[in-house]
């Protein structure tokens, strides 16, 4: 059985994926928060990605890496993204490459396209990036860093632009980019195992009535979503008219991120 390191394993996405992935892989769960509810095929490593020693120890002996950990927030400052999203992502890639890891999956985000208006296109898969925040800018950096390592070294890498991974669908924007745990797990397995991968950008979305993404490349690689967002509507779901146009960012792919002001880089942190 192959061993996968999951960074940020204590978070929302990590919690959703663990039960689905541990049937297929031994999971090394890395987070700065302690993880104590370990199941069969799971071990925990409590550490911080901003410490190089922790990264080196975490990747030792694993076959693949699923990199979820990151700093985020609608109005996050650029400086606040530097340690985890820039430096640690590069260090993790380099450490993984040097220790012989052959598969790497980077949790990117639909926010790399978040500044597009929702009426700007039918489908957004192939459009150039339009990051909506310093969080999204760091995801563009992460994707580009993955491309560097995939092109230079013998590593197969996928960036999965995750839509929304909440347990239920909360509004009319998210219904167009929501993903279930089991569909995301399917994409992770494709990233870990498919023989045709060098560097790919895939979309972490389930089916939906009017999707933002066709996810053609993922489907070519065998992705077949099992879930449709319309079947996971939350009881307090907000339809388009119920969303505040000024604060929800309902007319932008990135929602509230796209209408919130960028924190100044000119002022000191």
- Residues known to be catalytic: 135
Residue 40 Cβ, how far from ligand NAD at the closest point, in Å? Answer: 22
Residue 264 Cβ, how far from ligand NAD at the closest point, in Å? Answer: 23
Distance CA 98, CA 119 (A): 44
State the residue number with the nearest CB to ligand NAD. Answer: 11
Distance CA 30, CA 6 (A): 6
Distance CA 158, CA 87 (A): 19
Interface residue with ligand NAD, options 6, 13, 65, 184 (CB under 6 A) = 13
Among 69-77, 89-97, 186-194, 219-227, which window interacts with ligand NAD (CB under 6 A)?
A: 69-77
Q: Is 11 a binder of ligand NAD (CB under 6 A)? A: yes
User: Which helix H or strand E contains 14, and what residues bound it?
Assistant: helix 12-21
Distance CA 260, CA 111 (A): 13
Q: How many CA atoms lie within 13 A of 76 on its CB side?
A: 20
Q: Is 105 a binder of ligand NAD (CB under 6 A)? A: no
Q: Is 64 a binder of ligand NAD (CB under 6 A)? A: no
Whether the CB-CB separation of 126 and 180 falls below 8 Å is answered with: no
Interface residue with ligand NAD, options 20, 24, 45, 50 (CB under 6 A) = 50
Judged by the rule CB under 6 A, the positions of this chain that interact with ligand NAD are 8, 10-14, 31-33, 48-50, 68-70, 72, 84, 88, 107, 109, 162, 164-166
């Amino acid at each position: 059985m192959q061993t996968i390191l999951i960074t940020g394993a204590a978070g929302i996405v990590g919690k959703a994926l663990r039960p689905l992935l541990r049937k297929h892989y031994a999971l090394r769960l890395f987070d700065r928060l302690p993880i104590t509810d370990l199941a069969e095929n799971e071990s925990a490593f409590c550490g911080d990605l901003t410490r190089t020693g922790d990264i080196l120890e975490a990747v030792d002996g694993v076959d693949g890496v699923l990199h979820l950990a990151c700093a985020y927030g609608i109005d996050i400052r650029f400086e606040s993204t530097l340690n985890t999203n820039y430096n640690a992502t590069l260090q993790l890639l380099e450490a993984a490459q040097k220790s012989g890891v052959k598969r790497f999956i980077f949790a990117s985000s639909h926010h790399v396209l978040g500044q597009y208006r929702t009426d700007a296109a039918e489908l957004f898969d192939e459009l150039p990036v339009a990051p909506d925040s310093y969080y999204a800018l760091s995801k563009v950096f992460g994707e580009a860093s993955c491309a560097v390592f995939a092109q230079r070294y013998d590593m197969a890498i996928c960036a999965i632009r995750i839509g929304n991974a909440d347990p239920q669908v909360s509004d009319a924007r998210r219904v167009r980019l929501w993903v279930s745990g089991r569909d995301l797990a399917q994409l992770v397995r494709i990233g870990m195992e498919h023989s045709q991968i060098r560097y790919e950008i895939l979309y972490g979305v389930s089916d939906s009535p009017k999707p933002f993404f066709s996810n053609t490349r993922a489907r070519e690689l065998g992705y077949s979503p099992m879930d449709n967002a319309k079947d996971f509507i939350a009881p307090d779901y907000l339809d388009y008219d119920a969303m505040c146009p000024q604060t929800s960012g309902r007319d932008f792919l990135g929602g509230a991120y796209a209408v919130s002001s960028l924190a100044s880089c000119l002022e000191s942190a």
